[in-house]
Structure 1
Amino acid sequence: MVADDGRSATRPDDAARGPALELRWPSVVRDDPDPEALVVDVVNVGDARWVPVASFHTVGGLTPTGGVARGIDFAFVGGTPGAVPLDPGDSTRVPVHVATSEWRDLEPGEHEARATMPSLGIRTADPLPVRVTAAMIARHVPGAVTALGAAADRGAVETQITADRARLAAGAELEALGATLARAESHEDAIARIVDLIGVDAEGAQQVLSSFVRWLLPYEMAETRRRLARSESRRDALGDGPAGTAA
Structure 2
Amino acid sequence: MESADESPQLGDIDIDRSALTQDGFPLAALASELGFLVDEQSAVDAPSEGWRVLKRPSAGGFLLLGSPTDAALQTWRLAQVNTGAADAIAQVIPGTVSLRKSRAERRSSLELRWPPMMTTTDAAADEYVIDIVNTGDTRWIPDGDGFHVVGVFTEPGTTDFGFSWASMGHGPAVPLDPGEYARVSVALNQGTRADLVPGRHDLHAIMVGLNLRPEHPLAVDLSSAQIARYRERWRGRSSSPDDRRRMLDLQVQRLRAQIAAGASLVAVAEMVAAAESDAEAVISLATLLDCDEASAQAVYDSALRELRPGYAPTLEERLTETTRLRDAV
TM-score between the two structures when normalised by the length of structure 2:
0.38
Higher gyration radius (CA): 2
Higher relative contact order (Cα pairs below 8 Å, separated by 6+ residues)? 1
More strand by share: 2
TM-score between the two structures when normalised by the length of structure 1:
0.48
